[in-house]
A and B are shown apart, each in its own frame.
Chain A
């Protein structure tokens, strides 16, 4: 089976890989690039655990072919902290205990970061609807929503 050569940017680093035409971006991130922070919960775009940002747009990496990433910029959970400096959302998730098992956490963090970049002052309802594609089965979302709102408030205060 002939493979496709792709050159893309992942978390700011130029990255090359070979993929099958049918492989998803998630397959390549996890199986070829060892970036297992993006999770596969469903493979059909229904759970959001594989959320990444492509050219600034939040998408499910399970619903994007790896070959489509040619020339794009992909941001994953692995690029969220700067070295040892956690992103404020990551820090707030820890402080609010906004995770139990943690499997949905990377996807939710990626999605929430994208929200706050677009809307620094979201209402609770806006946060809930923005994150409706990120399933969490452990928390009932309460502490997640609080962590996102609290981060937004902090970032606004700091700005």
Chain B
């Protein structure tokens, strides 16, 4: 249960829209991203990748590459002599550098470091790999069939019932009540199967790092990542290093969306650095990013929902089958948890199957699992509304989860904002705007848990009274601005008196990855607590100066004040005045806070979208888009809106055009931005963000994470809109023109 942290207050800084502190360097090209720094004597790394979806590696001859002028190191799996005990760590190692077999098209099999990029590329071409090609499987439904090629035997968990193919490694179940009896009470039952394609996070910055690792075990890594502590811990575990000897510094990060919460090639860079004795810069190409890093899972889902003619859902079930890629794990359990989370249901059951395939290891992508959790459910609800002639917003309101609802995945909700988003949608002019020919309007709801986790923050009051704030989470979309604002708010100082930096792993304690929309919530909470800690110290110093009890000192507007007339008549001591005499009152002043932050408030959104379908070509145009989402408290509304808009845009891409396309040979056919079609500026309308603020009881300012929920409703909202515009229910994503046209013609 969330702690009762929230107290209502009037904000001075929070809720305003100042210019972000890292803005100038980012508009002038000075900000340093992963590939933007170099080191004296640096080498260029490059990775050789398997052209086969599944192949035994019978031998690798690196002699020609090693003999080339300018080549300083060539490595294969044989160079990774440390075998991690932990199976998860061993899987990461195997994914970074293939062992006995290549498990997917793009799997790394060797790497080089050379004095130039061109020499490194030439050296890769000189490496000879002897492959024995094995049968492969890339489709999730095919991979579940008995007799399918097995990606890796012996990885099935006990949760999987007998009789399933070994590619099925995990199964999860959620729900309560008795759906079968629920269906008996229904006036109409709709049961359908859906598919979604694998999509890539599509961050514009490819993975990049600069590594040094000396023979004494000391290393430094500069890397673009969503979590440099995670990178440190994983690299240390994979290579058998002491975490304390490896310092990892996070670069500015050019997008991640979950894809940079994993380790894909950093151990390779470190190994090349160790073998060559030189700093090694390793930058992936776009082709490598698509083939070997982070797409999210494709899915195959069956949904069944029963509804009364008044719109009450009486029973609901869903089965989710998600491909996990070449290693065990997966996110079907999250789909199974999220699908029905917006609704207050008496009878609901879901199950999720994690399925290995010969594809790159599936990675987190913005609310991982939730979009494919919501899409089939929200589609079936829409179809029920159509067939029962019900209003889709009223129907959702009728079934909406609220405070006290037992969620479909277990916990009972505290104060939540789903109804607020639905009510806002209902009263918005978008809902009543007229539609033209071949146009349709779709709505859908979405849910995401949000997360807290391990967090450390340190806040230093400098001798001149300015403030330095150190946090340990890469700033992926304006979080430094939010932290600076919360510190300034709490301390009562002007914004420009605070500067926030992202500390390296040696300068601040463990911080969880930037994931789960946790940063503004958890790091914000720790920032506020660190500021309060510093305030306590400053109050003590003022009390000492005045010769009164610290309890008799108040802090407001950036200064210590006597708490009342009884405390004595002293002029306030500002933070500057207290800092100036800190050396004489006990030494430097710093606040800090370390916490495993609980109480991340769950988040809900409702999306509304109008599309137009060209009946002759199947082309879908998005005409209008409105996002209604609960932010708890919007610290910097511009960046909250940006999260709403960005998630919606990614969802539009997922719904209409983005997909991993595999050939019969198991090779990825569209490993580039030309044919992996993320939305371009001319594809989209303005995306209107509507911020609702239902305070999260678990945060001092009521903040909820906002980053991920916005990608949950779009798949269904757009599918519902297109289905209404086209007059035919579309059940497979993406709704690319050939698919839409085929559905229109099949009518």
Residues of A within 8 A of B (CB): 1, 20, 22-23, 27, 30-31, 34-44, 46-47, 49, 76-78, 80-81, 86, 90, 93-97, 99-106, 109, 125, 127-129, 131-146
Contacts and interface: CB of A to CB of B under 8 A. Distances in A.
B720 to A, nearest CB: 20
Given A47-B204, A94-B20, A97-B642, A77 B117 contact: no
B286 A43 contact: yes
A37 B117 contact: no
Contacts of B29: 35-38, 76-78, 80, 106
27 contacts: A31-B38, A34-B38, A36-B32, A41-B286, A41-B673, A44-B673, A47-B286, A78-B28, A80-B29, A86-B24, A86-B27, A90-B24, A90-B28, A99-B26, A100-B255, A101-B256, A101-B476, A106-B27, A131-B681, A132-B683, A137-B255, A137-B649, A138-B255, A139-B642, A139-B646, A140-B679, A143-B641
B646 A22 contact: no
B254 A44 contact: no
Contacts of A43: 285-286
A103 B286 contact: no
Nearest to B636: A97
A46 B672 contact: yes
Contact of B35 (A40, A86, A127, A145): A40
Given A44-B673, A138-B255, 7 more contacts: A36-B29, A47-B286, A100-B477, A137-B255, A137-B646, A138-B477, A140-B648
Contact of A103 (B20, B204, B636): B204
B28 A80 contact: yes
Contact of A143 (B256, B476, B642): B642
Contact of B204 (A136, A142, A146): A136
B639 interface: yes
B286 A135 contact: no
B681 A145 contact: yes
A101 B17 contact: no
B638 A97 contact: yes
Interface string B117-149: 110000000000000000000000000000000
Interface of B: 17, 19-20, 22-24, 26-33, 35-38, 116-118, 201-206, 252-257, 283, 285-286, 476-478, 636, 638-639, 641-642, 645-646, 648-650, 672-674, 678-684, 686-687
A31, A137, A145 pick with most chain B CB within 10 angstroms = A137
Contacts of A106: 27, 29
Which 8 A/B pairs are nearest by Cβ-Cβ distance?
Answer: A37-B29, A103-B254, A140-B649, A97-B638, A102-B26, A46-B673, A77-B29, A140-B645
Contacts of B31: 102
Contacts of B478: 97, 100
- Determine chain A's interface SS by DSSP, over half rule: loop
Given A36-B29, A41-B205, A100 B118 contact: no
B672 A44 contact: yes
Nearest to B674: A46
A127 B672 CA distance: 24
Nearest to B644: A140
Contacts of B650: 137
Contacts of A137: 201-204, 255, 257, 646, 649-650, 678
Contact of B649 (A39, A80, A132, A141): A141
Contacts of A22: 118
A97 B21 CA distance: 11
A19 to B, nearest CB: 11
A43 B630 CA distance: 39
A42 B673 contact: yes
B672 A42 contact: yes
Nearest to A103: B254
Contact of A97 (B17, B649, B674): B17
Given A22-B118, A135-B204, A138-B477, A103 B33 contact: yes
A38 to B, nearest CB: 7
A81 to B, nearest CB: 5
A74 to B, nearest CB: 14
Contacts of B673: 41-42, 44, 46-47, 135
B642 A145 contact: no
A20 B30 CA distance: 26
